[in-house]
C-alpha cells in the first residue's frame, strides 16, 4: 500500500499547472459573450465615469448583473501593467494581456485551495487505510498528500472548466473563491479562528463576483457542512466571525453603490430575482444532458466515492465536499437559465470526492481507466492534428470541406513556433504513455496524471495549431474595424449612433476594439442594426421598408466572415446625408 502513495514529483505538478493556464490565455482576441464583456467593464471603469468602478458598465450600458470584483481586479491589472506591455505591442493588445493576468491569481487560488483543503481532510483518521499486520501502510502525511495530488490533477482534468478558466469573466474568480471557502471549512477542523476569517472573506468575494445566484449555493453549503455528527459541529460558533466579516465586506460596496446608483441597483435586484424560477422539466433535462459532459471525467468517481464511503458519510472527507456539491446541484433546478457559470460550482467538490474514490478502486479497474485515458486522449490529439492538416492542405477532402464551411474567408497559414510547441506537446504525451506502458507504476495518481496530461495536450494543440482559425471565427476585430471606418466616413460631428437589436457581446466587442459607444438618445439619426442575413434577404428586418421608400439610407453592411447567422448594417434616418 505504501508504494501506491509514492510522492508525485513537485516539478510535474508545476509543469502541469503552468502549461494548463498559459495555453490559450494570451495572444488571442476576447470572444463573446462573457469573455469580452468582462474586459469591456474593466476598460469602462478605467476610461469612463468614476461610478463604473462601483457599478460596472459596458460603455453607456449599465451592466447590472454579477458583481464588481472582477472589474476591480482586472481594471487595476490593466492600469498597472498595460504601460509595460505597450513597449512590445499595441495599446489594445497590451490591455488584453494585462486583463488576463488575474487569471493566474484565480488559477493559483483554485489549485492551492483544492490541494491544501484535500490534504487537511485526507490526513484525518477517518479516511486512513487499515493498518497491515506486518506494516507497510503509508504514513498519514503520505496518504493525505497522495489524495491532494489526485484532487489537483482531477480539477485540471475537468473538461467543462478548461476554457472558462481562461476567460476575463466572473467564472474563474467564482471557482477560485468557492475553492477558498472549501479550504477554509477544512481548516476550521484544527484552526477554527484562521479558518473562519478566511471563510468570511471567501463568502463576501463570491457575492461580489456573481451576486446572489453565485453566493447562495456556497453560503448554504457552509452551515450544511456543520452537521451534529461531524467533527465540525464543535466549531460552529466560529461561523459568527465568518458571517460578520462577510456582511461587513459586502456593505463596504453595497452602501456607496446604493447611494450613487439607484437605477443600477434596482436593475441588479431585478436580474437576481428573475434568475430564480420554480423547477421546470426543460431545465432539469438540460442539467441531466449537459452536466455529465461538463464534469467529465470526475463525476463517476465522485458517485463511486459516495457509495464506497456510505458508512462514513458524516466524516469530513466525504461530507464537506458533498455539501459543497449538493447545494449547487439542487440550486440549479430553481434557476430560470442554467449553464456553465452555474455548472462550474460543481467542479471543485466533485473533483475532491473523486480523489477519495481512488483508494477504493481495484487494480483491474484502475488499469482499465488508464487504458481508457490513453486511447481517448490519443484519439483527440490525433483528431486535432488531422483537422489541422486538412485545413492547411485540403486533405482528407471531406474533412477539409467541413472545416472550410465553418471558416469561410479564412486564409490558412503556418506558424513555425506554434507547430514546434504542438510537436513538443505531442512528444510529451507520447512519452507519458510510454512511461505508463513500460514502468507500470503502482501509484494511485497514475490515472489522474494520464487524464490531466491528455486533456492539457489536446488543449495545447488547439491553442497553438487552431488559435488563428478560432480567432477568425469568433473575434469581432475585423467587423468592428469596418464599422469604425464607416462611422469615420459617414458620421457628422453633430450626429450620435444608437443600437437596434444589438447583443451584449457585440456591444462590448465594438467598445473594446474601436471604442465605439452607443447612445440611448431616441433622436439619433444613425442606427446600428443587428439582424440576420435571412431577414435581410426576405426584407423582414427593421427599417427594411424604410430603405425602399427612402425614409432610411443604408450606409454600410458587414458581418464576420464565417458567420452565417449574424449581420450588421448602419442606417441613417431621413435617407440623405445631412
- Averaged confidence pLDDT in the chain: 93
Confidence grade of residue 116 (pLDDT, cut at 50, 70, 90):
very high
**Other CB atoms within 10 Å distance of the CB of residue 90:** 10
Q: Does residue 477 register a pLDDT over 80?
A: yes
Q: How far apart are CA 479 and CA 328, in angstroms?
A: 39
Please, what's the b/e burial string for 514-550 (b: 16 or more CB within 10 A of its CB; e: otherwise)? bebbbeeeeebbbbbbbbbeeebeeeebebbebbeee
| pLDDT confidence of residue 134 | 43
**End-to-end CA separation in angstroms for the chain:** 84
Q: How far apart are CA 429 and CA 412, in angstroms?
A: 26
At residue 349, the 3 state secondary structure works out as helix
- 396-417 pLDDT, tens digit each: 999 999 999 999 889 998 999 9
Q: How far apart are CA 244 and CA 317, in angstroms?
A: 27
Query: Is residue 55 within 8 Å of 194, Cβ to Cβ?
Result: no
Mean pLDDT over 226-235 rounds to 92
| pLDDT confidence of residue 136 | 52
| pLDDT confidence of residue 549 | 67
Return the percentage of the chain with pLDDT > 90, whole number. 82
Q: Which of 18-22, 64-68, 436-440 has the lowest mean pLDDT?
A: 436-440
Q: How far apart are CA 504 and CA 61, in angstroms?
A: 9
- 339-350 pLDDT, tens digit each: 999 999 999 999
Q: Does residue 28 register a pLDDT over 60?
A: yes
| pLDDT confidence of residue 131 | 58
Number of C-alpha atoms within 13 angstroms, CB side, residue 68? Answer: 22
Please, what's the b/e burial string for 9-44 (b: 16 or more CB within 10 A of its CB; e: otherwise)? eeebbeebbebbbebbbeebbbbbbbbbbbbbbbbb
Q: Does residue 232 register a pLDDT over 80?
A: yes
| pLDDT confidence of residue 561 | 83
The two beta strands, 57-58 and 61-62, are antiparallel
Q: Which residues contact 162 (CB under 8 A, 6 or more apart)?
A: 455, 459
Q: How far apart are CA 142 and CA 7, in angstroms?
A: 7
| pLDDT confidence of residue 3 | 54
- The pTM of the full predicted model, rounded to 2 decimals, is 0.95
Identify the H or E element spanning 261: none
| pLDDT confidence of residue 577 | 46
At residue 169, the 3 state secondary structure works out as coil
Measuring CA to CA, how many Å separate 360 from each of 114, 126, 451? 20, 14, 19
| pLDDT confidence of residue 182 | 98
Torsion, Cα 305 309 314 315, to 10 degrees, reads -90
Q: How far apart are CA 182 and CA 407, in angstroms?
A: 43
Q: How far apart are CA 209 and CA 69, in angstroms?
A: 5
Query: Is residue 185 within 8 Å of 222, Cβ to Cβ?
Result: yes
Q: How far apart are CA 11 and CA 29, in angstroms?
A: 31
Mean pLDDT over 380-407 rounds to 94
Mean pLDDT over 552-563 rounds to 90
Q: Is the bond preceding 510 in cis, omega lying within 30 degrees of 0?
A: no
Q: How far apart are CA 395 and CA 29, in angstroms?
A: 29
Q: Does residue 543 register a pLDDT over 90?
A: no
Mean pLDDT over 301-318 rounds to 95
Please, what's the b/e burial string for 234-248 (b: 16 or more CB within 10 A of its CB; e: otherwise)? ebbebbebbbebbee
| pLDDT confidence of residue 574 | 79
Q: Specify which residues 531 forms β-bridges with.
A: 567
Q: How far apart are CA 54 and CA 62, in angstroms?
A: 11
CA-based nearest residue to 64, from 39, 95, 37: 37
572 grid coordinates: 441613417
Place of cell 497522495: 146
513 grid coordinates: 476594439
Return the percentage of the chain with pLDDT > 70, whole number. 96
The two beta strands, 497-500 and 57-58, are unpaired
The residues spanned by each domain of the chain are: 31-360, 364-474, 477-573
Give the CA diameter of the chain: 95
Q: Does residue 440 register a pLDDT over 80?
A: no
Torsion, Cα 290 208 44 530, to 10 degrees, reads 30
CA-based nearest residue to 528, from 563, 495, 561, 550: 495
Amino acid at each position: 500500500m505504501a508504494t501506491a502513495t509514492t510522492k508525485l514529483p513537485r516539478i510535474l505538478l508545476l509543469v502541469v499547472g503552468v502549461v494548463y493556464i498559459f495555453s490559450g490565455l494570451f495572444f488571442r482576441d476576447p470572444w463573446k459573450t462573457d469573455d469580452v464583456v468582462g474586459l469591456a467593464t474593466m476598460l469602462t471603469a478605467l476610461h469612463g465615469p468614476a461610478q463604473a468602478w462601483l457599478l460596472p458598465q459596458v460603455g453607456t450600458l449599465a451592466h447590472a448583473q454579477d458583481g464588481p470584483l472582477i472589474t476591480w481586479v482586472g481594471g487595476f491589472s490593466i492600469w498597472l501593467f498595460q504601460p509595460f506591455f505597450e513597449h512590445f505591442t499595441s495599446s489594445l493588445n497590451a490591455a488584453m494581456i494585462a486583463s488576463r493576468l488575474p487569471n493566474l491569481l484565480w488559477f493559483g487560488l483554485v489549485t492551492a485551495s483544492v490541494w491544501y483543503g484535500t490534504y487537511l481532510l485526507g490526513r484525518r483518521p477517518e479516511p486512513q487505510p487499515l493498518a497491515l499486520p506486518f506494516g507497510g501502510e503509508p504514513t498519514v502525511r503520505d496518504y493525505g498528500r497522495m489524495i491532494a495530488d489526485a484532487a489537483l490533477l482531477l480539477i485540471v482534468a475537468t473538461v467543462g472548466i478548461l476554457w472558462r478558466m481562461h476567460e476575463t469573466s466572473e467564472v474563474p474568480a467564482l471557482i477560485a473563491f468557492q475553492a477558498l471557502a472549501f479550504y477554509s471549512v477544512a481548516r476550521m477542523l484544527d484552526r477554527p479562528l484562521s479558518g473562519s476569517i478566511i471563510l468570511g472573506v471567501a463568502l463576501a468575494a463570491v457575492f461580489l463576483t456573481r451576486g446572489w445566484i453565485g453566493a447562495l449555493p456556497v453560503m448554504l453549503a457552509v452551515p450544511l457542512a456543520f452537521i451534529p455528527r461531524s467533527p465540525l459541529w464543535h466549531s460552529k460558533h466560529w461561523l459568527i466571525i465568518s458571517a460578520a466579516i462577510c456582511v461587513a465586506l459586502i456593505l463596504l460596496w453595497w452602501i456607496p453603490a446604493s447611494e450613487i446608483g439607484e437605477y443600477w441597483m434596482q436593475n441588479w435586484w431585478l436580474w437576481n430575482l428573475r434568475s430564480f424560477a420554480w423547477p421546470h422539466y426543460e431545465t432539469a433535462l438540460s442539467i441531466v444532458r449537459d452536466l455529465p459532459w461538463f464534469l467529465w471525467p470526475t463525476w463517476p468517481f465522485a458517485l463511486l466515492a459516495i457509495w464506497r464511503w456510505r458508512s462514513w458519510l458524516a466524516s469530513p472527507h466525504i461530507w464537506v465536499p458533498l455539501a459543497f456539491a449538493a447545494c449547487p446541484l439542487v440550486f440549479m433546478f430553481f434557476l430560470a437559465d442554467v449553464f456553465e457559470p452555474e455548472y462550474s460550482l460543481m467542479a471543485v467538490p466533485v473533483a475532491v470526492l473523486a480523489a477519495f474514490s481512488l483508494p477504493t478502486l481495484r487494480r483491474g479497474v484502475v488499469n482499465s481507466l488508464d487504458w481508457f485515458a490513453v486511447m481517448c486522449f490519443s484519439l483527440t490529439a490525433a483528431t486535432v492534428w488531422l483537422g489541422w492538416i486538412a485545413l492547411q492542405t485540403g486533405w482528407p477532402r471531406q474533412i477539409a470541406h467541413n472545416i472550410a464551411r465553418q471558416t469561410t474567408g479564412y486564409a490558412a497559414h503556418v506558424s513555425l513556433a506554434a507547430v514546434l510547441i504542438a510537436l513538443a506537446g505531442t512528444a510529451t504525451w507520447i512519452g507519458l504513455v510510454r512511461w505508463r506502458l513500460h514502468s507500470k507504476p503502482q501509484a494511485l495518481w497514475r490515472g489522474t496524471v494520464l487524464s490531466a496530461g491528455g486533456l492539457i495536450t489536446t488543449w495545447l494543440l488547439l491553442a497553438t495549431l487552431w488559435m488563428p482559425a478560432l480567432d477568425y471565427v469568433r473575434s469581432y476585430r475585423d467587423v468592428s474595424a469596418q464599422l469604425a471606418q464607416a462611422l469615420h466616413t459617414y458620421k457628422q460631428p453633430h450626429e450620435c449612433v444608437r443600437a437596434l437589436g444589438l447583443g451584449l457581446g457585440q456591444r462590448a466587442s465594438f467598445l473594446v476594439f474601436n471604442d465605439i459607444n452607443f447612445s440611448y438618445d431616441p433622436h439619433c439619426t444613425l442606427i446600428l442594426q443587428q439582424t440576420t442575413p435571412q431577414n435581410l434577404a426576405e426584407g423582414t428586418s427593421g427599417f427594411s421598408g424604410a430603405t425602399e421608400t427612402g425614409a432610411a439610407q443604408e450606409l454600410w453592411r458587414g458581418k464576420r466572415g464565417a458567420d452565417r447567422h449574424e449581420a450588421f448594417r448602419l442606417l441613417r434616418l431621413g435617407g440623405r446625408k445631412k
